[in-house]
A and B are shown apart, each in its own frame.
Chain A
Amino acid sequence: MRNIITIFKRELSSYFATPVAYVFIVIFLIMSGALTFYLGNYFERGQADLNPFFQFHPWLYLFLVPAIAMRLWAEERKTGSIELLMTLPISVGQSVVGKYLAAWMFIGIALILTFPIWITVNYLGSPDNGVILAAYIGSFLMAGGFLAIGSCISAMTKNQVIAFIITVVICFLFLLAGSPLVLNFFKAWIPQNIVDAISSLSFLTHFISISKGVIDLRDIIYFVSLIGFWLYANTIIVDLKKAD
């Protein structure tokens, strides 16, 4: 635990030591605001809720989270600092979790900084703040899911561009796992119960159900186990490929 915290602190402060943090946060805030007001018709709808805000989060994360995740391990391997990290008395799992939590926390900070929109909606009307809180939790969990995939992919390559593109593609498949686009591809040659299983992996379905204000234990378990799975795979890959 102590080692995880040490890695966590180092990683988190390194975001703010470079322009990465500020660029990410500014872009995230501008994009989420612009999408809410222009594409989401926030005012025109005349409803006091944050649906127009949250409905674009999956698509924002699709590009912004892989941008954060791509450097997690690819950069360590590129600069050689992985050799230092892996020869310190810290286990691979502790490093993976520490780095992951720092990146997740960083995205959480960006998410918290969207609070003006919450103030706005409370100023304009009287929304159900319970639903908004649930949607924030769902959004944060979904970001964690994207990030775990990205962290794992980042460990497979030294090239951050490759890590980014592959992560976007895999995240896209997970996002749309419940849509005809993905399901029709499988339907032709895979039994129906496996197709159903694939469709139940959809980020979008789980996120939408949480963002309606229903925090179902199954949705939480889904995201937590997804994160656990990808981080476990991440640990194995770092261990296998650290010296390549």
Chain B
Amino acid sequence: MAFPIYSINLTMIKINNLSKKFGHLTAVENISFQVKPGEVLGFLGPNGAGKSTTMKMITGFLTPSAGEIELCGFNVNDKPIEAKQRIGYLPEGAPSYGEMTPLQYLEFIAQVRQLSGQKKIERNKEVIERLHLDKVLNQSIDTLSKGFKRRVGLAQAILHDPEVLILDEPTDGLDPNQKFEVRELIKSISPEKVIVISTHILGEVDAICSRAIIIADGKILADDTPDGLRSKSSSDKMDDIFREITSGKIS
């Protein structure tokens, strides 16, 4: 028998037959997928495809109508606190408490995440450096630009160095330089983590994702590496491939 260190399949996110209905509207219909450590999964799809709804279910904000979600071995609905401790989440639009300063806000998150002492100081210093927040630390979040608000939201998500990172449109509203920096940040933390991002920007998939799931009308239309997707289409451009898949020309 083999030594069992690597024989355990370290799947961090396991989703089985997940559905979400809002009244008569089916936002997510029977989707299943798994994500392993080191993977950066890009969630692509037209507006209203069910990307955000799926992410909200993974993070425990929405309760699924049917199906199971397991995070690092914890069922999100049965063990919500344990699951939430392992996630960093940037919700769509990066909501936060506007009357606080980034410094106060990070202190609050650190307390919730039970960081203390040297560890807290180190993590604080690192996220402030990585997201270039040092100049705005003592300004209330309400008065910050959209780009800074997004970066404060990202800082909040990665502060506790989570095993699973769920980012809903992390680069939305950032200028090209900031986009580049956020992508570099995601790349630098990806090797040992699971990262799921949703995006409209298809170039981002090539830049950072090791795998892409295309969803529309709540269903998974494609689940492949960026190169795998490319091989299905006559075109080499991600935009064309996306359009072909979501309009039903190829599957």
Residue positions of A touching B, CB distance < 8 A: 2-3, 6, 9-10, 13-14, 17-18, 79-81, 83-84, 86-91, 242-243
Contact = CB atoms under 8 A, between A and B. Distances in A.
Contacts of A10: 97, 100, 108
A86 B61 contact: yes
Given A17-B100, A79-B98, A89 B56 contact: no
B87 interface: yes
Contacts, number: 61
Nearest to A84: B95
Given A79-B95, A81-B96, A90-B112, A13 B104 contact: yes
Contacts of A89: 81-82, 84-85, 112-113
A81 B81 contact: no
Contact of A87 (B59, B100, B111, B140): B59
A18 B99 contact: yes
Contact of B97 (A2, A9, A14): A14
Given A3-B112, A6-B112, A17-B100, A87 B61 contact: yes
Given A17-B100, A17-B140, A89-B85, A83 B112 contact: no
A229 B218 CA distance: 39
B91 interface: yes
Most buried by B among A14, A17, A84: A84
Given A6-B111, A17-B140, A89-B84, A84 B62 contact: no
Contacts of B99: 14, 17-18
A111 to B, nearest CB: 24
